Amino acid sequence: MKKWIISLSVAAGVIGLSACSSGDSDVVVETGNGNVSQEEFYEALKAQNGDAVLQELVYEKVLSKNYEVSDEELNEKVDEMKEQLGANFEMALMQYGYKDEEHLKSTLRTGLMQEKAAIKDIEVTEKEVKEYYDNYEPRIKARHILVEDEDTAKEVQKKLKDGGDFAELATEYSTDQGSAANGGDLGWFSKGQMVKEFEEAAYDLDVDQISEPVQSTHGFHVIQVTEKEEKKPFEDMKKEMEYDVKVSKLDGTVIQEAMDRELKEADVKVNDKELKDLFNPEKAEADKDSETK
């Protein structure tokens, strides 16, 4: 699923200026050496981010008519990210170009609408859903202390078994500074989110059990599972599982075909001549080839 990371302030700027392409456009900035007009500003924004911003805005307009994403869905997604990232959540927002949590939610809303549009025509059988459920393992919550060598890991393990405080030892020993600052806590995670060796060891532990040293590409981990979710009955999870199975069948081609369908049904027409082929890449490529011949 493509995740939009274009600044909404840029997007808003393009929208606000999209109608200002005449020679009499208002002045955005005045200087002693000349003014910057709305037209100049619009053209500069378009040149830098035009394709991506316009595509995001059009997708949002087209999809919002037929696909609803509730605040509850968005909050759930953000809460999952917070649980997984813990103290690193704010840092992750900045790293991926989000201004704040509301900007992230706006991006997630568009992504979820695309997802719903793409699974619209995907069918799954009862057998597929039941098999998915049988293989499903609920999330677990764990903490770890990561060190560079096995001897140090065994030293940490012994101290824990002798009654040492996990959070204090994480602060003292762990080379994973992000989780160490939070007492080694990694939050909740599901299968497929952690490196294989760590994940297998964590899922084999009982709640509060301390693991043997576990080697991964990051070093040696000493792990403790602090909570495990209970697996709900199939009937209680059937609808959610059906959605997940459909999403698992998505790929770039399926998503693009869905978006092409939605754009066609919405009768999208781009009036800006420089962006007119944005939603018709084959024609744009053909025009480009003819210009080079």
Give residue-wise pLDDT tens across range 160-212. 999 999 999 999 999 998 889 889 999 888 888 899 999 999 999 999 999 99
Task: Kindly list the strands in the beta sheet with 140-147, ordered across the sheet, starting from the edge strand earlier in the chain.
Answer: 185-189, 140-147, 219-228, 214-216
Average pLDDT on 118-142 reads: 94
pLDDT in tens, 44-61: 877 877 788 788 888 888
For residue 16, pLDDT beyond 50: no
For residue 81, pLDDT beyond 70: yes
Q: Give the model's pLDDT for residue 8.
A: 37
Where residue 97 falls (left for φ over 0; alpha for ψ -120 to 50; beta otherwise) is left
Amino acid at 271: N
Give the torsion sign (CA, 227, 173, 175, 96): positive
User: What are the structure tokens assigned to 45, written together?
Assistant: 């924004």
Range list for CATH 3.10.50.40 in the chain: 134-228
Q: Give the model's pLDDT for residue 281.
A: 54
Residue 163: how many other CB atoms lie within 10 Å: 6
**How far apart are the C-alpha atoms of 65 and 7, rounded to whole Å?**
23
Q: Give the model's pLDDT for residue 35.
A: 87
Q: Are strands 214-216 and 185-189 parallel, antiparallel or unpaired?
A: unpaired
Average pLDDT on 248-274 reads: 89
What mean pLDDT value characterizes the chain?
84
- pLDDT class for 225, splitting at 50, 70, 90? very high
- Of 289, 290, 272, 269, whose CA–CA distance to 280 is shortest? 269
Cα separations (Å) of 106 from 57, 92, 145? 11, 16, 35
- pLDDT class for 243, splitting at 50, 70, 90? very high
**What is 134-228's CATH topology?**
Chitinase A; domain 3 (3.10.50)
**How far apart are the C-alpha atoms of 147 and 219, rounded to whole Å?**
6
- pLDDT class for 13, splitting at 50, 70, 90? very low
**How far apart are the C-alpha atoms of 108 and 3, rounded to whole Å?**
7
| Burial of residue 73 (number of CB atoms within 10 Å: 0-12, 13-18, 19+) | middle
